[in-house]
Amino acid sequence: MLLAAPPLQAPDLRSDLDLTIEELVRLIDLADDLKRNPASYAHTLDGRYLSLLFEKPSLRTRFTFDLAIQQLGGGAVTQIGPIGDREPLADIARNLDRWTNAIVARVFSQNTIEELARWSRVPVINALSDLYHPCQILADVQTIRERFGRWEGLKLAYVGDGNNVAHSLLLNAGRLGIHVAIASPETHSPLPEITASAREAGVEFTLTPDPREAVDGAHIVYTDVWASMGQESEALERQRIFAPYQVNAPLLAAARPEAIFLHCLPAKRGQEVTEEVIESPQSAVFDQAENRLHAQKALLLLLVR
């Protein structure tokens, strides 16, 4: 059993950069041990409780956080629906921090995460916002190291919308020594402020409008849906824009022979990825989904007191 102490330097996980590179590695080491030896950690968070706030629908995030705290000895209370409509976020945070030991929020706006963290005395965990998806990328980098035994020297090609997943891949996978190549239309590239933060953190990355250039020689090929939750009205236009960015067998063949395919799920088969690719032996999407549980257990052990 690995020791979870010392706790993380930052009181919250609002964005990927709240984790230092040393903490990120320690967290993944802990996640690996939790996966191998779950019974050793069965009572480590006895009597601790999570507030789970979901403005967006969720399968993996909701189940894995709920199961994570239960398997560590605690419990969770879930609210689904808009946050901050009936009362100010400041009041919500100051109620929840008196009843529970952490607040996990899956929201439309990063501002909601920031406001909850501003007022809460217990850790606030960003379970997805418009800017970041840090919990997903924890599972991703755990999966990558399981498959390749390392991070340094690998190339990850992300193909599609330069969204919250692309942002978090830049900030976390990039800091671990993975070269991140993002192929997206120029109108849907990662935000300049995110790429600036990545450069400041010493991340080496490539931005290109050409999917084949990004995928050439890649160890990991990654994509996400073309229209995220809240973008339903743009779905048809996005299908037109992103059609050249579909991950299909010919595109995957441009990667290394040992390359794996990742997707944060849910996937729209036949749009951003073909059935042939997601069901191929190269697909690691369900290992990736499983690791949400283990990585989030590690995060809770390092944040919740």
User: What is the CATH classification number for the domain harbouring 72?
Assistant: 3.40.50.1370
- The reply to whether 101 falls in a domain is yes
- The reply to whether 247 falls in a domain is yes
Which of these is catalytic: 26, 48, 60, 106?
Answer: 106
Whether 60 and 205 share a structural domain: no
CA atoms of 189 and 187, how far apart (whole Å): 6
**pLDDT-based confidence at residue 277 (cuts at 50, 70, 90):** very high
Which of these is catalytic: 264, 288, 294, 296?
Answer: 264
- The reply to whether 10 falls in a domain is no
Has 240 been annotated as catalytic?
no
Buried-exposed string 147-171: b where 16+ CB fall within 10 A, e elsewhere: bbeebeebbbbbbbbbbbbbbbbbb
Has 256 been annotated as catalytic?
no
Helix boundaries (H) for the chain = 21-36, 60-71, 89-99, 110-119, 134-148, 164-168, 192-200, 211-215, 235-242, 249-252, 275-278, 285-303
CA atoms of 115 and 302, how far apart (whole Å): 22
How many domains are there within the chain?
2
CA 193, distance to chain mean position in Å, is 19
Question: Nearest to residue 64, comparing CAs of 171, 173, 142, 139?
Answer: 139
Whether 157 and 63 share a structural domain: no
Question: Nearest to residue 61, comparing CAs of 146, 161, 164?
Answer: 164
168-191, pLDDT tens digit by residue? 999 999 999 999 999 999 999 999
Please give the DSSP secondary-structure letter assigned to residue 8: P
Which of these is catalytic: 60, 167, 179, 292?
Answer: 292
Whether 128 and 142 share a structural domain: no
CA atoms of 144 and 101, how far apart (whole Å): 31
In this predicted structure, the answer to whether residue 120 has a pLDDT above a threshold of 70 is yes
- Top pLDDT among 93 and 3 is at 93
Q: Kindly state the average pLDDT of the residues 274-295.
A: 98
**pLDDT-based confidence at residue 215 (cuts at 50, 70, 90):** very high
- The reply to whether 112 falls in a domain is yes
Has 26 been annotated as catalytic?
no
Q: What domain range is 78 assigned to?
A: 16-132+292-303
Whether 75 and 108 share a structural domain: yes
CA atoms of 238 and 247, how far apart (whole Å): 15
Which of these is catalytic: 136, 142, 246, 288?
Answer: 136
Which of these is catalytic: 71, 224, 238, 246?
Answer: 224
Tell me what pLDDT residue 228 has: 77
Has 135 been annotated as catalytic?
no
Whether 89 and 213 share a structural domain: no
Q: HSE (CB half, 13 Å, CA atoms) of 29?
A: 11
- Top pLDDT among 141 and 1 is at 141
CA atoms of 144 and 259, how far apart (whole Å): 10
Whether 254 and 171 share a structural domain: yes
Which of these is catalytic: 60, 62, 133, 145?
Answer: 133
- The reply to whether 11 falls in a domain is no
Q: Are 139 and 288 in contact (CB under 8 A)?
A: yes
Mean pLDDT over the full length of the chain: 96
- The reply to whether 4 falls in a domain is no
Whether 122 and 159 share a structural domain: no
CA atoms of 106 and 118, how far apart (whole Å): 17
